[in-house]
Amino acid sequence: MQLERRGYVKAGHWTPEAAVEHPEAVRQLHREFLRAGASVIQTFTFYCSEDKLEISGNINDAACDLAREVADQGGALVAGGEKEVKAIFKKQMDDFLKKDIDFLMVEYFEHVEEAVWAVEVLKTSGKPVGATLCISPHGDMSGVPPGECAVRLVKAGADIVGINCHLDPLTCVRTVKLMKEGLEKAGLKAHLMVQPLGFHTPECNHTGYLSLPEFPFALETRSLTRWDIHKYAREAYNAGIRYIGGCCGFEPYHIRAIAEELAAERGFLPPASEKHGLWGAALEMHTKPWVRARARREYWETLLPASGRPTCPSMATPADE
């Protein structure tokens, strides 16, 4: 979404031709996330397989090179991932392995059955494998509960399980909690991961923001503030989730907010915090006294942001799911 807004990607399937057409744009976005505190740089390869794009192999090669180049500048890891059935995953896995990515990530699955197929293929690589579903607390599109989804993924060999996309942070954290409960009941263990939307989606389930009338070109009014992200990061950490990130709608300053909220646990602040006073501290030098008064945590933690739109409804009516 960030590259679409910057004019490098066409909306729809969000195909990643930019990795070969505008590598400098992809590289710069990677750098911004790295500077903001990201520990993982994910390859820009979503929806890029031969049944989607004839030049997918070249794109995957270029995307891996860009991610590795930037990740090495800050000691981050590189994750690669694709979605499709086993034959396609084998082809994609081979492309990634040629670039020696650090671990493999399969994401954006609405059906756990398909995710299990992917994990089974990727485990043959010898690399750690993560798997995330874009499902709600109600379960996947076939009605499989989150806890059972997690059990199936771990039994297939996933080292990391969790949720990505479709819904807002606190909803996604709630779903991961259900996955964790399922694993505990089954006597299984795995690292937990969450990569939610950077948008508020309180009225949605299952297909999430895809069913909102604002999708995809009018979502700005639903954007999360950095303070929303602080709350999310703490909620996720307290739930036992240690791979905490973001999906569509997340910008570098959101990642910085995660890094700042968890600075004590991580032991350091990211380079981008040099230009950001924690909890508004930089406002202490503002010329206006009422703005200087906002240089405190309590103000931002209790703020209820207004939309600024006189006739803006508080909720929308999602499309049929």
Binding residues for Zn(2+): 165, 247-248
Residue ranges for the binding site? Answer: 165, 247-248
**Distance in angstroms (rounded) separating the CA atoms of residues 291 and 110:** 45
Query: Cis omega before residue 216 (within 30°)?
Result: yes
82, 41 Cβ separation under 8 angstroms: no
- Please name the residue ranges forming H helices in the chain: 2-5, 18-21, 23-36, 56-74, 86-98, 112-122, 146-156, 169-186, 226-238, 252-261, 263-266, 289-292, 297-302
* Residue 24: CB atoms within 10 Å: 10
Question: What are φ and ψ of residue 136, in 5° steps?
Answer: -100, 180
* Residue 313: CB atoms within 10 Å: 8
Q: At how many degrees (to 10) do helices 23-36 and 252-261 cross?
A: 20
209, 197 Cβ separation under 8 angstroms: yes
Cα-based distances in Å from 274 to 155, 164, 256, 268: 43, 29, 11, 12
SS (H, E, C) 197-232: CCECCCCCCCCHHHHCCCCCCCCHHHECCHHHHHHH
**Distance in angstroms (rounded) separating the CA atoms of residues 121 and 124:** 6
**Distance in angstroms (rounded) separating the CA atoms of residues 143 and 273:** 43
161, 119 Cβ separation under 8 angstroms: no
